[in-house]
Amino acid sequence: MKNITLNNGLEMPILGYGVYQITPEECEKNVSQAISVGYRSIDTAQAYGNEEGVGSAMEKSGVPRSEFFITTKIWISNAGYEKAKQSIEQSLQKLKTDYIDLLLIHQPFGDYYGTYRAMEEAYEIGKAKAIGVSNFYPDRFMDLAAHVAIKPAVNQVETHVFNQQIKPQEFMAKYGTKVMSWGPFAEGKNDFFSNKILQGIGQKYDKNVAQVALRFLIQRDVIVIPKTVTKERMVQNIDVFDFELSQEDMNSIYRLDTATSLFFSHTDPALVEMLLNYKI
């Protein structure tokens, strides 16, 4: 496993296991499987409702806590200093741990400045080893980063071959902030798994489309957290460190970029209203 160094010197696995949309009932089983095949970085969130499953799988694994890298995120309904502070304690309890390796703001809504202050405090007392944000577009990211004491270590955003976050990555680099990809397979949208360019490149390296897409992001220093509930695919997704894409192949994939979301836009009032009304 390759590690990436965050802006505070903390090392994080560049590839982990994401549990978005995995039910609480299935989460422990799936995370246990992921751990058994070699995953040590697990990404969850308060809004996913499955932090307990991650904590139980980690606790029962027999793997020392120090070998894990756990990411969770504070939801909008827990925004603001006091609520965020309380929710961090709740997440620690659910995850059965004394600290969170990477703590993120899930969405750029509500009193996220207050949330960030609570996260900075958690960082200072060792309850969070690194802090950052998620789904922050460049304007909100840069405004926040310019006005906080501890610069975000990570911004977790939609990143895949069709939306590569090239320009935002350049701006984030000014603060030492790493891009962390959610949806590295675009959830299969845009005929992702049958894309001829990715298939052709995969044949050259005896790799599948998913492995090529992950390798492309990894070579750009993008952190990836692919999700699957199939053990065979867990094994395939982690098997991306024995080959390297040529510059020619990288360039072919660069040309797939539309720089447009396949999922949602924070400029859509209906979407924002839905997020604000989602309580946990």
Using DSSP, state whether 93 is helix, strand or coil: helix
E-assigned strand segments in 11-117: 11-13, 17-18, 41-43, 69-74, 102-105
Output the CA–CA distances (angstroms, integers) from residue 255 to 198, 200, 235, 258, in the order listed.
Answer: 12, 15, 28, 8
The verdict on whether residue 106 carries a ligand-binding annotation is yes
How many CB atoms are closer than 10 A to CB 69? 21
Tell me how far apart the alpha carbons of residues 172 and 99 are, in angstroms, rounded to a whole number.
Answer: 26
Tell me how far apart the alpha carbons of residues 154 and 102 are, in angstroms, rounded to a whole number.
Answer: 9
**In this structure, are residues 198 and 210 in contact, taking their beta carbons and an 8 Å threshold?**
no
Active site (annotated) includes residue 48: yes
Q: Which of 48, 112, 123, 175 is catalytic?
A: 48
* 105 φ, ψ (degrees, to nearest 5): -80, 125
**In this structure, are residues 46 and 280 in contact, taking their beta carbons and an 8 Å threshold?**
yes
Token duo for residue 39: 């995953």
Please give the positions annotated as active site. 48
Binding residues for substrate, as ranges, are 106
Binding residues, as ranges, are 106
